[in-house]
Structure 1
Amino acid sequence: MITMAQYYDIQRMHFREGKSIRTIAKELKMSRRTVKKYLTEGKEPLRPPTRRSIKPRPAPVIEEVRPLIEKWIREDENAPVKQRHTGKRIFERLVTEHCFTGAESTVRREVGRIRKKVKEVYLPLEFQLGDNIQCDWGQAQITLNGTPKTVHLFVMRLTASRTIYVRAYIHERQEAFFDGHCRAFEFFGGVPRRVTYDNLKTAVKKVLHGRNREENEAFQALRAHYVFHAEFCNVASGNEKGQVESMVGFIRRNFMVPVPEVQSIEEFNQYLEQKCREYAAKTRVPYRNEIVNELWEEEKKHLLAIPKTPFDACRIVSVKVSSQALVQLDTNFYSVPCRYVGEVLLLKAYVDHVIVVDQDTVVAEHSRCYQKNRRRLQLEHYIDALMKKPRALKNAAVFQTNTIPSIYRRFYKEMNQRYGTDGDKSFVRILYLHREHGSDVLIPILKEAERQGQYRYEVVWNLLHQRLHGHNTTQPMPKEALTERLSEYQVSQPDIHQFNQLLGKGGTLH
């Protein structure tokens, strides 16, 4: 049997173009008998029958449990993706819990039919200017100082103008989360009325019924400072903030191919901010005639003003000072003044530094360490303890760090060799000058004393006083004149007979 299209070609070529049966058969590659049959008989080929709907057969076994299967599948929508019912698991539950007598294939077929019917519909959205920002985290690879490194990308997007902001961090902890907000709001030029999140632990303490959440207290402080409303997606429903979800992949594909090679995270963040500005300058807003930059300028007028007082973007931890004057954050230790040993202080962990406070007083500040099992020690914190234990200075860990100027070690070594324990004590007194005036002032003083060959506290103090006040309190004696001048001194013998008058009666005279 030929198709309707072939039948049409036979009719056209013979009656419209006047071709012979032989020619038509040759061009259409069919027998002359077939061509002649459809030309002489004038019968059309049979059309393919339309598929008639088949009335479903009754399935009394599955009918009894169908409502139960539909209920379990609906409940799966709120369950973790990897912990949802399979057809096999539904069959097992039906057999175990409801004495089901049908076959597993019947259940699997029914599950497929039900799931095919349940298709989620996504509505197109349009956001008002200044109303909403979506926030999310992502990960990417960079080459940092020649070593592959995974960084965490904090991404925010203004949903009306489509402006994006992205910044890289070493981790996704609360201090990075807060710092990202502060920098993003500064970049956007204001604060939106609503920010949409998924249920991240840095913001949500507990997921309650429906859209209700028990928020982290520190996150509440962030919201109160900037006065925005937080909205949270349903569990495992990242599509509810689809604009920023799609941007994480876009950033990896367009900003980070090939893999960026940088010397520091700060250098990489400068690159990312520049790419965000380039994106805004050349990208057109979907379904509008403006580019992102133009609509962004308009949206800035609708954003809330940024507070004049900056937000304290840190994670606050209560710490107890150990007997070695150290406090612990994660796996690392940071020194504090030794007078705080045994006390409980507050540690403020920022992205790049750490501050330890006693009520409102800052007692220590260190650069943040992201290695494991490391110490950050400051010489100033141990000077009081060294005054009580000066001999410990030689092996004190704080004096072995690479932050100690080399002139300090040379000067101490010379004083220790010349004066022993007294030299240790005198050098600790010099360290008090370091704590009072700083290394920038003391280093040139020690170098000058070293040049003169004078390794004594008094000389250092005199040179420091001269530098600070502009005059000498003593005049140092030239070396070449030392022996000659001493020879001029004549010291008379003491007359002890003069003490006889102090003796009482019977005393022995000298």
Structure 2
Amino acid sequence: MSVQENIRTLDSHGIAGREIARRLGVSRDAVAKYTGQQNFSPKPPTPVPRPAGSAVAGFEDTIETWLTEDQRRPRKQRHTAKRVFDRLMNEENYTGSYSPVQRFVRKWNDQHRQAGEGFTELVWPAGTAQVDFGQAEAIIAGIRQILHIFVVTFPFSNMRFVQAYRGETAECVCHGLRTVFDHIGAAPRHLVFDNATGIGRRVGTKVVEAKVFGAFKLHYRSESRFCNPYSGNEKGNVENAVGFLRRNLMVPEPEAATLQGLNDILLTRCMALAETVHYRKGLPVSELFAQDVAASLALPGVGFDPVRYESRTADKKGNILIDGNTYAAGSSFHSRTLTVGLRHDVVEILDEHSAPVRSFPRAFGVQAETIFEPAALLPLLVTKPGAWSHSQLRPLVPEPVRDWLDNATATNRRRLLSAVEAASGSAGFDAAITAADLLIQRGDTPEIAALGMLARRLAGGTSPAVENVDLSVYDVFTTGSFTSLNTLTGEIA
């Protein structure tokens, strides 16, 4: 601008163009250009055409046909520039590079963008929560696992909570919400979901919710809303929070002895985030979150039990099928109609009178083997001891007990299994098997009375000595030379 300004200044003083060029050391053409220019107002930049743009020449109609057909497809199933490039190479013998295709697709999309496309900034009132799931790895009891992280955010304050589960069922959602509600001491008035959180689904204007979630809303008086399909931006706060919490709370992978222990750690770390300053409002998140809590609903006097009850008929072996997995209720329940209670972590089986029968850790994903409680197999083995050799229970017992049962007669095998069954009822299966193992290693006969007493001691935390007690010190009381004992002097009369 300084050279241009000098040319214009000298010209304003009536100096000839040749002289201006001589003084400033510029060409006469430059002097003529800037002295003759009338408008110096700023103009928008003009894009410079990239070279090699003709590489897609002859393929324009094909690309435009594909992109036009995309307008009728869901957004997540439309052509990307990379997909267009791959199809041109595989189907149209395109030999050019990727960049010209990318520029063509970008230009076409820009020219055909609808006026109503894009995102709008949404304003969320206090007392509203958004809910979503993501995935992350963690180490539980030394085992690396892929967990489903349940995230609840409050967009007004940007407060965020996360809990980890092994699935994305309605029971997991309700349990996670209750955990957050109990922790903050309030229930949000409005809950915003998408179509992938397991508690309901929106098709058009119709929303179908899971029964357990319907009961959950009645319990806490909260209202729910589902985003439009493929419109995750309608709950962008929680969408961003899923990635944020995964990067900041789960890198490196957190370790815990149990899943509940991990969730306690995550909840503590979430509360630490409340001390940060809101990225736009300039206030601590904790102060803004206090307004979220104040605008929420008071909790009822009792917490909601997130359980789903269903009816199942056991097969001839006493097994029932739940979510693609087989659970063993017990042979005595064959062909009977039972009730199953599904919680986020437990499957409970109840009989026809709603009395608890069995309880199992809930399995997610398809398990190849039948899920059973070892003690449930004992009654059938007592009746049919010959089935021991191929029983599901055999690989689960320690080697001394397994060898003893393998070599025992049918009568002795029945006696030991009966003793284990009786002890399991009062002390638990693990304590009963451990007691049998100790007795067998001592060389004792595992009778019902001895095994039951030892199992109860083990269940109570008392570990008896393994070695035998030397009773020879009492032989003096059975010898013929013993006559009487002087209790005053301790001497033998």
* Aligned mates of 1:449, 1:150 — CA distance in 2: 42
Corresponding residue SS for 2:274? helix
Letter in 2 for 1:282: T
Is 1:80 aligned with 2:107?
no
Is 1:227 aligned with 2:225?
no
When Rg is computed on C-alpha atoms for both structures, the one with the higher figure is 1
CA apart distance, 1:385: 1.8
Change in 2 beyond 3 A, CA 1:110/1:33: closer
- 2:392 corresponds to: 397
CA apart distance, 1:226: 1.8
What does 1:480-491 align with in structure 2 at a 5 Å threshold?
A: none
- 1:9 corresponds to: 6
Corresponding residue SS for 1:375? coil
- 2:419 corresponds to: 430
What does 1:332-481 align with in structure 2 at a 5 Å threshold?
A: 332-358=325-351, 359-370=353-364, 372-401=367-396, 404=397, 408-409=401-402, 412=405, 416-417=407-408, 420-439=409-428, 442=432, 446=436, 449-450=439-440, 453-455=443-445, 457=447, 460=450
Change in 2 beyond 3 A, CA 1:26/1:424: farther
Q: Percent identity?
A: 24
User: 5+ unaligned residues in a row in structure 1: which ranges?
Assistant: 52-72, 87-108, 469-477, 486-510
Letter in 1 for 2:253: P
Is 1:174 aligned with 2:188?
no
Render the CA deviation track for 1:101-144: whole Å, top value 9, x for unaligned: xxxxxxxx9997674544557255141x33x1111222345577
Render the CA deviation track for 1:426-461: whole Å, top value 9, x for unaligned: 223212322332247646764675476441636637
Change in 2 beyond 3 A, CA 1:126/1:460: closer
* Aligned mates of 1:463, 1:253 — CA distance in 2: 53
Corresponding residue SS for 1:282? coil
- 2:313 corresponds to: 320
- 1:473 corresponds to: none
Render the CA deviation track for 1:293-320: whole Å, top value 9, x for unaligned: 1222343333223334332324444322
Letter in 1 for 2:286: N
- 2:243 corresponds to: 249
* Aligned mates of 2:215, 2:130 — CA distance in 1: 19
* Aligned mates of 1:38, 1:304 — CA distance in 2: 73
- 1:122 corresponds to: 120
Selected match of 2:304 from 293, 303, 311 = 311
CA apart distance, 1:162: 1.9
* Aligned mates of 2:452, 2:137 — CA distance in 1: 56
CA contact (8 A) 2:313 2:320 kept: yes
Corresponding residue SS for 1:363? strand
What does 1:77-156 align with in structure 2 at a 5 Å threshold?
A: 80-82=74-76, 115-119=113-117, 122-127=120-125, 129-130=126-127, 132-141=128-137, 150-156=146-152
* Aligned mates of 2:20, 2:265 — CA distance in 1: 70
CA contact (8 A) 2:202 2:226 kept: no
Change in 2 beyond 3 A, CA 1:363/1:281: same
Change in 2 beyond 3 A, CA 1:273/1:134: same
What does 1:217-296 align with in structure 2 at a 5 Å threshold?
A: 217-256=211-250, 258-260=251-253, 262=255, 265-266=259-260, 268-284=262-278, 286-287=280-281, 289-296=282-289
Corresponding residue SS for 2:350? strand
* Aligned mates of 2:141, 2:427 — CA distance in 1: 32
Corresponding residue SS for 1:134? strand
Change in 2 beyond 3 A, CA 1:324/1:456: same
Render the CA deviation track for 1:453-472: whole Å, top value 9, x for unaligned: 4416366379669989xxxx
Larger displacement relative to structure 2 (140-149 or 217-226) = 140-149
CA contact (8 A) 2:135 2:146 kept: yes
Corresponding residue SS for 1:306? coil
CA apart distance, 1:276: 1.6
What is the TM-score of this pair, normalised by structure 2?
0.67
CA contact (8 A) 1:152 1:170 kept: yes
* Aligned mates of 1:20, 1:266 — CA distance in 2: 88
CA apart distance, 1:342: 0.9
Letter in 2 for 1:173: T
Change in 2 beyond 3 A, CA 1:317/1:13: farther
Render the CA deviation track for 1:4-40: whole Å, top value 9, x for unaligned: 8754222447889xx99999757855136865x799x
- 2:98 corresponds to: none
* Aligned mates of 2:235, 2:192 — CA distance in 1: 7
Selected match of 2:208 from 202, 208, 214 = 214
CA contact (8 A) 1:379 1:399 kept: no
CA contact (8 A) 2:338 2:349 kept: yes
Corresponding residue SS for 1:355? strand
CA contact (8 A) 1:138 1:152 kept: yes
What does 1:154-165 align with in structure 2 at a 5 Å threshold?
A: 154-165=150-161
* Aligned mates of 2:330, 2:393 — CA distance in 1: 12
Selected match of 2:198 from 188, 202, 206 = 202
Render the CA deviation track for 1:404-435: whole Å, top value 9, x for unaligned: 3566436545xx54xx2221222232123223
CA RMSD after TM alignment: 4.5
* Aligned mates of 2:299, 2:340 — CA distance in 1: 27
CA apart distance, 1:219: 1.9
* Aligned mates of 1:160, 1:466 — CA distance in 2: 56
Larger displacement relative to structure 2 (319-328 or 356-365) = 319-328
What does 1:64-75 align with in structure 2 at a 5 Å threshold?
A: none
Change in 2 beyond 3 A, CA 1:33/1:329: closer
Render the CA deviation track for 1:372-414: whole Å, top value 9, x for unaligned: 212332232233222321222343212322xx3566436545x
Corresponding residue SS for 2:419? helix
CA apart distance, 1:220: 0.8
CA contact (8 A) 1:429 1:457 kept: no
Letter in 1 for 2:188: P
- 1:45 corresponds to: 37
* Aligned mates of 1:157, 1:111 — CA distance in 2: 34
User: 5+ unaligned residues in a row in structure 2: which ranges?
Assistant: 44-67, 81-106, 459-470, 479-493
Letter in 2 for 1:313: P
CA apart distance, 1:348: 2.4
What is the TM-score of this pair, normalised by structure 1?
0.65
